[in-house]
Chain A
Amino acid sequence: MNTQNLMLIDPHIHMTSRTTDDYARMRQAGIVAIIEPAFWLGQPRTEPGSFKDYFSSLVGWERFRASQFGIKHYCTIGLNSKEANNEPLAEQVMELLPLFVCKEGVVGVGEIGYDDQTPIEDKYFRAQLELAKEVNLPVQVHTPHRDKKAGTIKSMEVCLEHGIAPDMVVIDHNNEETVKDVLDRGFWAAFTIYPNSKMGNERMVEIVKQYGSERIIVNSSADWGVSDPLSVPKTASLMLERGISLEDVRKVCYQNALDSFGKSGQMHESDWLQGSQVDQREKFSDNSVLRGGQTPVVGDVTTDGTLESNIVR
């Protein structure tokens, strides 16, 4: 893998489910900043308190953990579509959201949208769009796995109906079938590179060749399932190998993510240009990322786009 020392952003990754190894390897591969959208945990939460603690961890412990590996962590906050279907719970989560959406480092309302495209999902999608509008934050839209094309178009139409400008909305998990509609309507089109499903990196290369680098964003959406936190650097590397220009790769793997979510006013390039110093002696609520006998890393993290061997000596 060779990313020619590009700085990279993964604007959609669920680090709560990942290990410190992932952080170390991501940083080594050139990732300087990430956005963690609030999502579901694989099984539904049954109490509003679980949401509260989860949101708190996104702005607290997880951000600290990332900082310990030289990565700037941002998040988006929202009630995801799957869990919106539990209406009494959803009501209580809606009351929690105003406590979190304006916190520092929250760069959007997300990921919200449709899963089964039920009326209840629609209700809470719309309620959250209103909230995003009220606080002037970007929206990160999760598009459904089933009936994807119709669901994607409906998501955009509902955004417009609520008076939200297309350049304030990132439509996620696109594919060859949806990309044209999204770009034509002026929205940001994000692609999730998944091994085996969604979008492979070879297909991604073809999409950039066909549609260019304007408003196209690459992410990994890596979470607790089979997924790859290095999808962005690997895709960047492949694009360069297949002759896409360095500037185009920089746009789809860095600049577009910054330009879209930067509209929150909560994410600036200077955040990581001036702040990539690591001090692993620090603690958060008395917890350190280190375990007994490990030597803390202190100082600048360097990146050359390559990865160390995994052998423990």
Chain B
Amino acid sequence: MYQADIYATKTFLKELLERSTTTQGQEWLTKKMELIDAEGATPKDLYLAFSAAPRFVGREPLHLSQHEIEMANLIRPGFNPSRWNAAQTARTLLILSQPYQDGEAFRDTIETLFNTADMGELVALYAALPLLPHPELFRSRAAEGFRTNMGDVFEAVALDNPYPADYMHEDAWNNMVLKTLFVGKPVFRIYGIEKRSNAKLARILSDYAHERWAAGRPVSPELWRPVGPFIDEAILEDIKKLFSQPNELEQEAAALACAESSCTPARELLNAHPQLKSRVENGEISWSLIGDKALAAN
């Protein structure tokens, strides 16, 4: 029923928020959280506070320290609010103040907010998914988030968010990874990308690369990250092609993919590129470095 201790989460988020809002903002929020939690609270109390949050707490970014990022990860593995802002944090605190013993009722309230949300509200709701009780009730909502074409909203559900890796079924997960590449967002910010890699995804990504090559379009080097462990005869041809690309990032991606493969021809392919091989072994090449560089080159 729980992904994170709700009390601990609320305490943590409130402390983070203190630095990014005013005393009045904190007081307003505390009052609203108590109101929503109180006996006899109506849905209206939550709805009004949820929308109005930015005008009372502002929109300052949270600015987490390295220690706080680690704390977040202790509260909920993969939880990373380092890109959150004050309003979003307050909105999360408000929905976590909602009674949640009755899962269906909790889900209905959250769904009502989703169904009438504007863009800032959608970002807050999707990014809060890994903290909500009854997480299994929000699978189709998360899948809906993968379908959006609003960039910030897609990022909120797909990137730096552990909910998809922990709860989405394989097809939905694969769809999300493909879409991330399709819209040019950084794959290295998908939480759990290694853990959830699978043979079907590798095949889908290889097909997608072929489509791009046929159209004379560049293929993101990050595409090969989930492919490495599933290199087979067909994909081996793709990797050979990568080694021959003029772009160094693509060669590095090929080397990393081979290093993650247990198939003998892939290991041999890597041996044939000793320079790249030693850079992989020295840790000079990593997927997040490739992702960073690919993003910068965009």
Binding site for B on A (CB under 8 A): 52, 55-56, 59-60, 95-96, 98-104, 134-135, 265-266, 283-286
Contacts and interface: CB of A to CB of B under 8 A. Distances in A.
B100 interface: no
A285 B116 contact: no
A135 B149 contact: no
B51 A102 contact: yes
A285 B149 contact: yes
Interface in B32-68: 43-44, 47-52, 54-55
A52 B150 contact: no
B247 interface: no
Interface string B150-182: 100000000000000000000000000000000
Contacts of A95: 43-44
B140 interface: no
B113 interface: yes
11 contacts: A52-B115, A95-B44, A96-B116, A98-B43, A99-B51, A99-B113, A100-B116, A103-B51, A103-B121, A104-B51, A104-B118
A104 B53 CA distance: 10
A93 to B, nearest CB: 12
A55 B47 CA distance: 15
Contacts of B148: 285
B150 A284 contact: yes
A149 to B, nearest CB: 35
Nearest to A134: B48
Contacts of A99: 47, 51, 112-113, 116
A104 B51 CA distance: 7
Top-8 shortest CB links A-B: A102-B51, A286-B149, A102-B52, A98-B47, A98-B44, A99-B116, A99-B47, A103-B51
Contacts of A59: 118
A52, A99, A283, A285 — which one has the most chain B CB atoms within 10 A of its CB?
A: A99
A95 B113 CA distance: 12
B120 interface: yes
Given A98-B44, A135-B48, A284-B150, A104 B116 contact: no
A200 to B, nearest CB: 38
Nearest to B52: A102
Interface string B199-215: 00000000000000000
A96 to B, nearest CB: 7
Given A98-B47, A283-B149, A285-B148, A55 B52 contact: no
B182 to A, nearest CB: 12
Contact of A101 (B48, B113, B119): B48
A251 B26 CA distance: 38
Contact of A104 (B44, B54, B113, B150): B54
Contacts of A286: 149
A52 B113 CA distance: 12
Given A52-B115, A96-B116, A265-B55, A102 B48 contact: yes
B150 A103 contact: no
A60, A98, A101, A266 — which one has the most chain B CB atoms within 10 A of its CB?
A: A98
Interface in B95-136: 112-113, 115-116, 118-121
A24 to B, nearest CB: 25
A103 B115 CA distance: 14
A133 to B, nearest CB: 12
A301 B231 CA distance: 53
A60 B116 CA distance: 10
A56 B149 contact: no
A98 B48 contact: yes
Contacts of B150: 284-285
Contact of B116 (A52, A135, A265, A283): A52
A266 B52 CA distance: 11
Contacts of B149: 283, 285-286
Contacts of B51: 99-104
Nearest to A49: B115
A286 B148 CA distance: 8
Given A285-B149, A285-B150, A104 B120 contact: yes
A89 to B, nearest CB: 17
A134 B32 CA distance: 14
Interface string B277-298: 0000000000000000000000
B190 to A, nearest CB: 21
